[in-house]
């Protein structure tokens, strides 16, 4: 609960700052609007969740996230600080993919395409509004680096004046979720992780990853965690990990430790 309250407080402060910039007519290329978030982020993929959607009249559009439903996710293959790249994710009803690029004042999207599953309101209406907004560039009106348990945040303003607040999520892109590849010790390797965890037995009943080190090899069970991975059921991963030996592990723990160095690929299972 304290972490949730802190996250909400940070969101409120960021949105208030964004509203202040809009109210004062701050130029879109002002330092506050174009500030890079690199002080909290190295290069590489980034995964962002839409947390808040405020319309021009101040009313909030309901957005699914957390325990309320599948969140709206934007996945930038080179991070939001890159000049350009590809973007994919979930737009409220369907999966989408396309291109993105930085502008002098924010972000643009192009070549958008997606699946065509029909959804009932309000999911279908929310998706239609989001995809329509993405046809025009977004203006960055607020940014916030990582602060404790709160991820980096950004507020974009759409061409129609809506404010979309995104928060970076663990597992793909956050520095805190990764290991410095130059640290001494251990062995780097590529591992393939199946799209679903399965029931297994260790000291008791639990769930395990299915993993392999060759894309055509047999699956084996991985009983321990993959430190830094924000696993999403239904998505298969190609990971770069550091493997180290654990001295005198507890009886119910593995003697091998995997730490995430990077996510090389995410593939949604059919």
Asked whether residue 163 falls in the same domain as residue 238, the answer is no
pLDDT value at residue 259:
86
What value does the CA radius of gyration of the chain take, rounded to a whole number of Å?
A: 20
Per-residue pLDDT of the chain (270 residues; tens, 9 = 90+): 444 444 455 555 566 555 554 543 443 333 333 445 543 344 567 889 899 999 999 999 999 865 447 789 998 988 888 899 999 888 988 889 999 999 999 999 999 998 888 888 888 899 999 999 999 999 999 998 765 445 689 999 999 999 999 998 754 433 333 444 444 468 999 999 999 988 887 655 678 899 999 999 999 999 888 887 878 888 899 999 999 887 766 555 677 888 888 889 988 887
Domain that holds residue 237: 178-268
Question: Which one of 137, 169, 201 terminates a domain?
Answer: 169
pLDDT value at residue 53:
97
State the DSSP string of 117-133: ----TTHHHHHHHHHHH
CATH of the domain at 13: 2.40.128.270
pLDDT value at residue 170:
58
pLDDT value at residue 202:
60
Which of these, 75, 137, 76, 79, lies nearest to 106 by C-alpha position? 137
pLDDT value at residue 100:
96
Domain count across the chain:
2
Q: CA neighbours within 13 Å on the CB side: how many for 175?
A: 13
CA 224 centroid distance within chain: 23
Question: Which one of 115, 135, 169 terminates a domain?
Answer: 169
Asked whether residue 26 falls in the same domain as residue 120, the answer is yes
Asked whether residue 207 falls in the same domain as residue 149, the answer is no
Q: Are 239 and 263 in contact (CB under 8 A)?
A: yes
pLDDT value at residue 19:
52
Predicted model pTM? 0.56
């Amino acid at each position: 609960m304290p972490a949730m309250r802190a996250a909400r407080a940070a969101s409120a402060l960021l949105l208030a700052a964004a509203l202040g910039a809009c109210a004062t007519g701050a130029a879109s290329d002002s330092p506050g609007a174009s500030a890079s978030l690199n002080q909290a982020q190295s290069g590489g993929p980034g995964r962002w969740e839409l947390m808040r959607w405020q319309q021009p009249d101040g009313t909030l559009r309901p957005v699914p996230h957390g325990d309320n439903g599948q969140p709206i996710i934007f996945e930038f293959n080179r991070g939001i600080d890159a000049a350009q790249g590809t973007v994919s994710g979930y737009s409220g009803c369907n999966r989408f993919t396309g291109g993105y690029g930085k502008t002098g004042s924010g972000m643009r999207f192009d070549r958008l395409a997606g699946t065509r599953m029909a959804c009932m309101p309000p999911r279908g209406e929310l998706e239609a509004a989001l995809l329509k907004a993405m046809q025009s560039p977004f203006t960055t009106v607020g940014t916030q680096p990582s602060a404790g348990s709160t991820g980096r945040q950004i507020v974009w303003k759409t061409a129609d004046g809506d404010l979309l607040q995104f928060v970076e999520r663990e597992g793909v892109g956050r520095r805190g979720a990764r290991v410095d590849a130059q640290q001494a010790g251990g062995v780097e390797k590529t591992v393939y992780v199946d799209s679903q965890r399965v029931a297994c037995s260790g000291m008791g009943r639990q769930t395990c990853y299915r993993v392999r080190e060759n894309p055509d090899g047999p699956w084996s069970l991985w009983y321990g965690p993959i430190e830094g991975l924000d696993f999403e059921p239904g998505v298969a991963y190609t990971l770069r990990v550091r493997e180290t030996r654990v001295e005198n592990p507890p009886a119910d723990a593995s003697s091998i430790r995997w730490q995430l160095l990077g996510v090389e690929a995410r593939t949604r299972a059919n």
